[in-house]
Amino acid sequence: MSHTDFLIAVLSLPGSFEGEAACLEELLEAGVERLHLRKPGMSAVELERLVERLAPRWAGRLVLHYQIELALRYGIPQVHGPVNMGSGMGLQQSTSVHSWEEFRALPGGLAYAFISPLFDSISKRGYLANEGLLRLPSVALPCRPIGLGGVGGETIGKMVRMGWSGAAVLGWIWEEPGEAVRRFEQLKKSIHAAAEGIGGGGYDPCAGAGVLADIKTLEAQGVYGYAVCTAMTIQNETVISRVEWLPEATVFEQMDCCFAAADFDWVKIGITPSLAAAGRIIRHLRQHNAAVRVVFDPVIRASSGTVFWEGGVGEWEEVAAQCFLVTPNWEEIGWLYPGADVMERCRELTTRFGCQVYLKGGHHPEHPGVDYLWSGGQVEVLEPVAGGEAIYPKHGSGCVLASSLTAHLSLGYPLSEAAAMSKEYTERFLSSNKTLLGWHR
């Protein structure tokens, strides 16, 4: 689903307020596709006066709740209410349900159906989220589901990442009626940003690693990727001849340009000239989005043997503390903590510094291919996918895994699920052919 296909339906307040008609016209002018007029607190005369003002220009975007005769009189094509309420009158219809069981039992032919509450309601205090509603069913549905309940500037992004194609907003947009148009614009920007992420790293001409691999991986998961280049790596899949680092000001300028187009909640960082540089990049990101979540793939040495930066435990732990997730491999933890217990160091990173650790096990001396997900001092063991195809070494496999994790997290999956799906994706990449350059599929 493209963010351009996402439907925002705005529900009116049940009563009225001074200047409401003009405000509704401004919302329609701003691009509201469906304006639901649900007015139990308004008299019939007042409602008709409002419809009479809006319908000449906007009838095709209006939806009247229960008012069939009024809809027919003013040429409004859609009504909302119980199923079959407008049957045989040539009107489109939408309805509301509160469970997926109800939804699956709906007849075909509806324009869409509201399902609620996805999140804690803003307009109805105490009307709490039904957590089972947010994840869309995998089976075909009789009509388009439109999520309702607690939808706002932050929660709508989560809906986009979870695959929803529409949302209905009420309480959040009307908290301050004078700000309704600005809030609607914010919703549109959140939808645009939710389907995107940034990959930051080197430009690898063979596209096995670096930002080109980031983009291919993100897109394969349904996430549109922007790229910020930190270095030109003069290389192919077997050797790096040299690395030309871009000036930090140029890196920051690229980031600024990306954030001018959209807000990003998730960013994956790859090679940097030093840990201090990685820290400065994260701080610059947070000037644009203080809540941005960073997945840091600490590329200390390339598989070809090139060293990008030497380990410095203090700096490493300071940067890790600023990240949501770090994705070192077994050897890299060994380089950072010479002679230490690798698993104990990962546990301490999660308990002392608050980040999660996905420990890539491709270089494990005894159990290659077994990965470990650490969170809050607890570990989850990720075995190779049972019955998987033959695995072949690949240039950039660690980059692909970290980018896949970023994609799945940005789509709203819990960390454990994102880790399992990313491991499976990476194994498909590794088994795609016998060369060092894999196919994304």
pLDDT in tens, 188-210: 877 765 566 788 899 999 999 99
Q: Looking at domain 195-430, what is its CATH homologous superfamily?
A: Ribokinase (3.40.1190.20)
- What the block records as the tokens of 114 is 């509201």
What span, in angstroms and rounded, lies between the C-alpha atoms of 379 and 382? 10
Cα–Cα distance list, 212 to 295, 303, 383 (Å): 17, 17, 28
At a CB cut-off of 8 Å and minimum separation 6, what does 437 contact? 206, 207, 208, 237, 394, 395
Residue with more model confidence, 304 or 259: 259
Residue with more model confidence, 193 or 270: 270
pLDDT for residue 385 is more than 90? no
Q: How confident is the model at residue 349 (pLDDT cuts 50, 70, 90)?
A: very high
pLDDT score recorded for residue 1? 43
Question: DSSP of 127-169, one letter per residue?
Answer: ----GGGSSPPSS--SS-EEEESS--TTHHHHHHHTT--EEEE
Question: CATH number of 3-193: 3.40.50.720, 3.40.50.2300, 3.40.50.1700, 3.20.20.70?
Answer: 3.20.20.70
The segment(s) of the chain belonging to CATH 3.40.1190.20 are 195-430
pLDDT in tens, 332-344: 998 899 999 999 9
pLDDT in tens, 157-189: 778 877 899 999 999 999 999 999 999 988 887
The segment(s) of the chain belonging to CATH 3.20.20.70 are 3-193
- What the block records as the tokens of 83 is 């199923």
142 prior amide bond cis, ω within 30: no
What span, in angstroms and rounded, lies between the C-alpha atoms of 228 and 214? 10
Across 316-344, average pLDDT: 93
Number of residues written out for the chain: 441
Q: How confident is the model at residue 354 (pLDDT cuts 50, 70, 90)?
A: very high
pLDDT score recorded for residue 187? 86
Cα–Cα distance list, 273 to 75, 205, 239, 252, 399 (Å): 64, 19, 18, 14, 17
pTM of the model: 0.64
Across 266-290, average pLDDT: 95
- What the block records as the tokens of 208 is 């096995």
pLDDT for residue 152 is more than 80? yes
pLDDT score recorded for residue 310? 64
